Structure 1
Amino acid sequence: MSEDYNSSDFKKLLDKLQTESWQLELLISGFAIFGLFQAKDPLEVELIKAIGNNEEIYGYLIRTVYPALTILLIVLLIHVILRGVWIGALGLRYVSGDIDYEHLNYSKKFTDRLTQKVGSFDRYISRLENICSTLFAIAFLMAFYFMAYMLVVGFFATTTSLVEITGIFSKDQQIQFTAAWGLIYFSMALLVFVDFIGMGVLKKGNLRPKIYMPIYRFFGIITLSFLYRPLVYNFLDQKRAKWLATFILPAYILGSVLVSSFKKQQSNYLGENPESSTIYASTSNYEDVIDENDELVDFAVIPSKVITTPYLPLKVPYTSFKEDAVFKQDSTLNPEKDRRGYRFNARKIDLFGAQFQFNNGPNDFEEQKKYLKVFNNMYKIMIDSTVIEKEFIYTTNENERLQFETFLDISHLENGKHLLYVVGPRGQTAFFEQKIINDTIVTIPFWYFKN
């Protein structure tokens, strides 16, 4: 029956379902809101792991999914509230019927105005019904919009990564290919966005549709638009709803910027700083106070602000910048082909729960020792004004994130406040050119008290 959508029986079924859809709306909204609230914290944790492990593609996916879930959550909450008002209005209508303006005994001027502006109670219920149904549909349409954006950028990242993995171009040719392909691809994407904001402006006329049609079909395949295209055009053929469907996404982006920039300032002089210094201790430098939802851990971390042991553990999370700095120090370590990122690894295979580990190669251990030697020579550790001996090794933390670790001898320190300095290469932008200079990268205050 569902395939014969022109039959009278199918239309009667749709009319019946349309009348009773509010029950399904509330049921789906309730489950969706519960699931979205449960998903927000795990997504934030996964985003932290992705940033720390330099998993750009995975981090990009989470960054795109997170605002989509936020939009869906906000719209569904508004939908549930208005549906509650609608159900309350229905109950009130059963008890008291329509609004009797004559019984209110207002002056003729107010009675005429209320009759014109407020109207009948049934009209109010009908408007609530339309708003609720529209919000429910547009909530999922917004999620599809974000999915389309994610797929557009993800397709570009996938194509460039595949070309890099195949190795058909040299490093310089790969950069040129990425630049050329990005210019062409995102120019076409800009046309699609202009058509979206203009509510189909490129589909009108005679010449423009002929030029635009191949681009429209290409991005239609990439964004899986067959899933939500009927929803879009159903909104666009309505005078009021089409503006809502088109501009709710820019409105959300603008609202997010305004909300994120509105903060409470506690002091005229004192405020939260991004990095620790001689007078400020950032929570991102101490393991015992790092919030699991912090977006980034600082360059180096120590266990706590108060140290009572004769040694001080120091951990430096791995980043691709640190590895690039190693390559600049010793060009012989720079591989011909960059193996970082997602790719197939035949050294470890998981088959039906059984793991098979293969030899890493005869030269890997010696190369790792050479890598660590260069890394140790790059950085100087100082406490107050004294250089401290150190030897970094590499390990992984509980989140399987690579990091460098060493233990510093502080048994000679006096009780009280001390400053830990890490000096080494850091990036600096000058005239739009990234340079690496030697400087104090991080300053961490701590207090040492002997047991």
Structure 2
Amino acid sequence: MSNDYNSSSFKKLLDKLQQESWQLELLISGFAIFGLFQVMNPLKEELMKAIGNDDFIYRFFIQTVYPALSILLVVLLVHVILRGVWIGALGLRYVSNEIDYDELQYSKKFTDHLTKKVGSFDRYISRLENICSTLFAIAFLMIFYFMAYMLIIGFYILVSNLVELTDIFSSEQQVIFNVYWAFFYFSFALLIFIDFIGMGILKKGNLRPKIYYPVYRFFSIITLSFLYRPLVYNFLDQKRTKWLATFILPAYLLISFLLSSFSKQHSNYLTTTGDSSAIYANKGNYEDVIDNSEDLIDFATIPSKIITTSYLPLKIPFTTFKENAVFEKDSTLKPNKDERGYGFNGKSMSIPGLTLSIGNNKDVEQQKKYLNVVNNMYEVLIDSTIVEKEFIYTTNSNGRLQFETFLDISTIGKGKHLLHIVGPAGDNELFKKKIKIDTLVTIPFWHYKD
């Protein structure tokens, strides 16, 4: 069969598929809902890993994908429910046909009102059909909206990183470039957003389109708009659906923002958030109660609130700030080229069945020097007594780098104790980043020997 969209045979095929599309809608919605329920928890776990690993790019990707999939899940659930109502209405029509208002024997006032407002049963079925088809299309259009947002931010990050990799600017010049690049780029992105909210307001008139057209073309390319542009304009040329297609995303963001601040307060004085202290134990400091899918690990962790051994394992997760503090303390360790972040590693490459490593081992002496700085950088106290420690580095079950040591607590008494860690902390003064020495965490625990 010819797939020429102007041919009569192709139009007949589309009309036939349109009439039977509800079956495909239900089939796709069912599989999509099942898959989305399966993937939401793993995404949460990946988000916690990204936050814990200080991985900004991966974190941004997950934080963009997660709400997009949440919207898709909610809209598809509503679609399935309404499509079920539609099927039920069709079945009822087969049994009882139209609504007979005379049979109800209501007064003329109510009969006239219901005839006007409710109307015929066929009109109800038709409206349900339109709503279901619109919801099904809008669900996937939301995915493209979030994809466009992610690509806009991603392009900015890509250009910034590429310019930084070329080493054509000094560190100070790179900061200046990033500021100007961000200003111009997001100023143009703001025009795209204004045009989106205004339903094409910058495409109207005589002068505005001439100025806006190059910006529109540029962002059309980087957002891959050719994939979903026909969907957008098909919504915008209808009075009822254009409002839905334009404002469903801002409405979702506004509702999410408002709901994020809504919670139940259990007490006027006691809270369930905050850092551990002498009177509060944050579960992010205790490994036995941390839920990897929902909880963020705090600055440091110990195995449990109750310690029954003569030693206390202490783990401090690695962060970029801690390494910057090492460089601040010993500038000889600062490399000429910062290798942190994403990039191609030519020292280790692999294909199925073959792995090639070329001098991938780091200098052990430099690692020892690095760890020596870490050990001198942090002071560990139990109650008010300084405790000897020697950090090594390792990885946890999620592959995150961390510093680990074991503290001798054989001489401390039974009962409650406070573990203090003192070291460098960030201190932002306007745009100047300073490092100050402060108590970074206080963790209460109870010691009872076996």
TM-score tier (shorter): over 0.9
Larger displacement relative to structure 2 (368-377 or 108-117)? 368-377
Partners of 1:188 and 1:248 lie apart in 2 by 23
Matched to 1:68, the amino acid is A
What secondary structure does 1:336 align onto? coil
1:47/1:295 contact within 8 Å kept: no
- 5+ unaligned residues in a row in structure 1: which ranges? none
Q: Give CA deviations for 1:345-391 in whole Å, capped at 9, x if unaligned.
A: 12222232333333246x72222111111111111000001000001
Partners of 2:194 and 2:444 lie apart in 1 by 52
Corresponding residue of 2:182: 182
Offset at residue 335 of structure 1 (A): 1.9
Q: Does 2:92 correspond to 1:92? A: yes
Number of residue-to-residue matches in the alignment = 450
Identity across the alignment (%): 70
Corresponding residue of 2:273: 273
1:235/1:245 contact within 8 Å kept: yes
Under a length normalisation based on structure 1, what TM-score does the superposition of the two structures give? Answer: 0.97
Corresponding residue of 1:378: 377
Under a length normalisation based on structure 2, what TM-score does the superposition of the two structures give? Answer: 0.98
Partners of 1:54 and 1:349 lie apart in 2 by 25
Partners of 2:174 and 2:430 lie apart in 1 by 25
Offset at residue 91 of structure 1 (A): 0.6
Partners of 1:162 and 1:148 lie apart in 2 by 21
Offset at residue 392 of structure 1 (A): 0.6
Q: Does 2:212 correspond to 1:212? A: yes
Larger displacement relative to structure 2 (2-11 or 189-198)? 2-11
> What is the correspondence of 1:83-232 to structure 2 with a 5 Å cutoff?
83-232=83-232
Q: Give CA deviations for 1:27-62 in whole Å, capped at 9, x if unaligned.
A: 000000111111111111111222222221111111
Partners of 1:54 and 1:381 lie apart in 2 by 24
Corresponding residue of 1:388: 387
Matched to 1:377, the amino acid is N
> What is the correspondence of 1:284-295 to structure 2 with a 5 Å cutoff?
284-295=284-295
Offset at residue 149 of structure 1 (A): 0.1
1:301/1:314 contact within 8 Å kept: yes
What secondary structure does 1:335 align onto? coil
Offset at residue 180 of structure 1 (A): 1.5
Corresponding residue of 1:426: 425
Larger displacement relative to structure 2 (161-170 or 252-261)? 161-170
Corresponding residue of 1:241: 241
Offset at residue 230 of structure 1 (A): 0.2
Corresponding residue of 1:336: 336
Larger displacement relative to structure 2 (10-19 or 365-374)? 365-374
Corresponding residue of 2:76: 76
2:276/2:441 contact within 8 Å kept: yes
Offset at residue 295 of structure 1 (A): 4.8
- 5+ unaligned residues in a row in structure 2: which ranges? none
Partners of 1:412 and 1:353 lie apart in 2 by 54
Partners of 2:23 and 2:286 lie apart in 1 by 50
Matched to 1:327, the amino acid is F
Matched to 1:198, the amino acid is G
Corresponding residue of 1:283: 283
2:348/2:360 contact within 8 Å kept: no
1:273/1:280 contact within 8 Å kept: no
Q: Give CA deviations for 1:165-210 in whole Å, capped at 9, x if unaligned.
A: 2222222222122111111111111111110000001101111111
Matched to 1:372, the amino acid is L
> What is the correspondence of 1:360-371 to structure 2 with a 5 Å cutoff?
360=360, 364-371=363-370
2:382/2:417 contact within 8 Å kept: yes
2:316/2:403 contact within 8 Å kept: yes
Matched to 2:4, the amino acid is D
